[in-house]
Structure 1
């Protein structure tokens, strides 16, 4: 049977528009990252009066928010079009409107950062204040993403009506789960920007409640991590099996893990605020427990993936405990590059457990350990999987093919990335355990002796970061080749089939009334009382800063 199905050209054009913005953000944000590690080594000074924290803001916003949001929406639009059918004209128009609004917002925020009017870092905490145009730009990015997400949800609803009583395609279901997670999570950041930071920067109010602002940010900030991760999980669960010639281990297990991610990724923001006053320790403990619940779907994912790999290897004649490992298609960049990301998620997940633990967090809180962890999760597990997706998605959407030469270069790129990140992130973890602060340049260290002690780790970060920048140059070259210069042809959009022995998918997994009710209840339980308490009884320092 010929499994080749081409995404409609009109939908492909919409998805590619998102990809172009994503990779432009990668180029600019990656260059800012290179400048960062060079400055932190103490061997380089930024020219033209460019500030270190200005570069840090460019790097964090462009890579943490712009690259990820545009890539994920473009990928999910393509996934829904491929598995649930061509978008209706109305849904496609919604997708374009969302893209335009997001792009305008991104441009507004980027201009303010480059003008040094929004050097407020990736988290834009008060009392750091940006120009009101920056906050308005962020608002437009969020609103635009809601419009694009609405296009995905509307197509899902339309498809469900057409197949009453049957489960939706797995990849479409996953895309909808991630879209719902994003919409619910961004309510927090939208609230703090619209009702606190934007009026404050316009001079309409004199103060903002800092504790409330940080709480609303982290209500968004932690599920943001899963908004990044779930598209990678989509590829691991439902696309990688097709690429290697295997079948999906279990459709229902994959759906259940995504439902659990939706339920347990949002009401856990307090574990980023464990050292902050104004939040009762009991509520922090509750959210730490909920945070550790996310381990369950993560272990389910690991089990399903390696069960798929082992079954594939056995089908190819593998014997012994790890014989299947040698049977995997290591010469295929579409598999090998995401697999490196999977392996990186093992230490990344372990680091996440440390960060979320009330006791161990005290050791690493606000040190560069956290930055190292961040670079293992987002910048390795997620980003390498995104690159692996791009190697087949971009040529599929542009009507070109992944040539053997580009495939080899893609594997080299993945290896370079793994080496560079191992050096840089390893140095960050080690320096963090020695107390090196997060977000600090060499010139801002207060203790001269400590600064000298950390020099070897800063230099290692510069070496690793420079290798990573070479990896960015390579992926940009590959992206341009796949967009404009690779031979024209048909590149498969791989969608896995469920194994014959898998259990039938229960329809309760698509009963949104149940899952949204549980989600709402968890959020209300985790946030209502502590939120009211911090408004009524917050410490003196939380009640705001004057607009100077």
Structure 2
């Protein structure tokens, strides 16, 4: 008889909760993808938006809907079903809390979206002050964050229940990883919740006349950089745990995977100043300290690359591969569940190199606030992460809906991945090149089309339009595949692949699950990195027109 943690299929009711999150995520992909296509065509000078639609309006739709809505809904849905699969079916109370979290997020998304569509919140996904949005936009974002906290509480509760049932045992790896990402998200979103609730919302309601922009931006980037790892860690979950099972191999090391996630928890949050290297009001010594912490994140990334390619090589050699790269021929290149995430893995190599440049003080001055930065995060979240999410969908959606991933859909999924790789090569490559020539980030074609320097940028803007068009074809393909897997594919059973450790005797050290220790260290790093700079900002805050400090 199988134990709860060995259960093969996600419970039907838990699966419905996960699918609700995925429906919203893929609707967001359709809307945000269309806005992205329009945006690249405007930048290339090939389109003038009709009906008074503003460039920054569609830019905000693209950023908020894809960067915040799509990712948050997909990640929470994936983590909920992963925990249900590995730690056991949710209780009725946990499931009810999950639905409350989902509807809170959905209502918040609707509120923010309406304000953007009414052109009352064209403030981009970073919503920096002094750009001001309607109060309902900020309130909607607050609902999204609170809803995600409720979803996170379900994950924490399920983990705690598993530990209570299994004292002294390491938790299932996917549950452990979901917990780490949830804890990081909750700690990080305290920053954006603070600036929204205590600064931007009162300001939008007219309760205060101004806000301290330095503190607002600092609170945002306290959240903004771990947001990147909130996107990335679910992809790492699939790379570490799911991909080895799909290829027929083993997880290289369970303990190494857990340690990697702990390091991300420690080093991903107290590093926001590396996004503010060009801003006044922050002592350079504190910027330098946070740059050092930023570079510490390279370590778990390299650990992940080593672990993944060790898994691939070990598998290949077990199948008789010889030579330095002979093992690559043994990988399942005809399986979209592997190929599409693998394209994402490869894209993360140049993406990581670009991240090192962005975080380096001197080199950052060359590319800061140019479209190079946009190209960088289109390689990270819009390629490495999103292609892995697509790869997850190819087995997870039919698993939850009781359908099968047919050979026809598998072939189409590989074509979709190739389209995405080609489109992103054009678009992101052109963004990086134009950024090195000084092309500004966020600006529309009409704003710089008459400048003499703009003549150098125009070919790259056209290449962006070509790439964006190819990517939109890729979006149409993935939406077709999703609809097929959710509603029309033949009935059947699709596996939820969970890899096993190569060394079955390996037991993860229980110190890795000492949350008082790891959360305590994370909090100390955050306090050390931010307390004195915050005190300086507050003490030196400008005086508002009504005679009080702005914070």
Shorter-chain TM-score bucket reads over 0.9
Q: Please list every run of 5 or more consecutive structure 1 residues that lacks an aligned counterpart in the other structure.
A: none
Does the CA-based 8 Å contact 1:270-1:284 persist in structure 2?
Answer: yes
Cα deviation 1:21-48 (Å, max 9, x = unaligned): 0000000000000000000011210000
Q: Does 1:60 align with 2:63?
A: yes
In the comparison of the two structures, how many residue pairs are matched? 547
Give the structure 2 partner of residue 19 of structure 1: 22
Distance 1:289 1:454 in 2: 34
Distance 1:217 1:390 in 2: 31
Give the structure 2 partner of residue 174 of structure 1: 177
Question: Runs (4+) of structure 1 moved beyond 3 Å?
Answer: 1-4, 538-547
Give the structure 1 partner of residue 431 of structure 2: 428
Q: Does 1:382 align with 2:385?
A: yes
Residue 538 of structure 1 deviates from its aligned partner by: 4.4
Taking structure 1 as the reference length, the TM-score comes to 0.98
Q: Please list every run of 5 or more consecutive structure 2 residues that lacks an aligned counterpart in the other structure.
A: none
Q: What secondary structure does 1:359 align onto?
A: helix
Give the structure 1 partner of residue 121 of structure 2: 118
Cα deviation 1:497-544 (Å, max 9, x = unaligned): 111266421100000011011001000000000011011124789999
Give the structure 2 partner of residue 417 of structure 1: 420
Give the structure 2 partner of residue 78 of structure 1: 81
Residue 178 of structure 1 deviates from its aligned partner by: 0.2
Give the structure 2 partner of residue 274 of structure 1: 277
User: Residues 48-447 of structure 1: matches in 2 within 5 Å?
Assistant: 48-445=51-448
Distance 2:214 2:19 in 1: 40
Does the CA-based 8 Å contact 2:209-2:544 persist in structure 1?
Answer: no
Give the structure 2 partner of residue 475 of structure 1: 478
Distance 1:111 1:40, change over 3 A: same
Give the structure 2 partner of residue 507 of structure 1: 510
Distance 1:248 1:539 in 2: 54
Does the CA-based 8 Å contact 1:181-1:223 persist in structure 2?
Answer: yes
Taking structure 2 as the reference length, the TM-score comes to 0.97
Distance 1:281 1:297, change over 3 A: same
Distance 2:288 2:221 in 1: 16
Q: What secondary structure does 1:448 align onto?
A: coil
Cα deviation 1:221-265 (Å, max 9, x = unaligned): 000000000000000000000000001010000000000000000
Distance 1:546 1:420, change over 3 A: farther
Residue 545 of structure 1 deviates from its aligned partner by: 13
Give the structure 2 partner of residue 28 of structure 1: 31
Distance 1:435 1:209 in 2: 29
Residue 341 of structure 1 deviates from its aligned partner by: 0.2
Distance 1:396 1:543, change over 3 A: farther
RMSD: 1.8
Q: Pick the aligned partner of 2:9 from 6, 9, 18.
A: 6
Does the CA-based 8 Å contact 1:206-1:545 persist in structure 2?
Answer: no
Distance 1:472 1:134, change over 3 A: same
Residue 452 of structure 1 deviates from its aligned partner by: 2.0
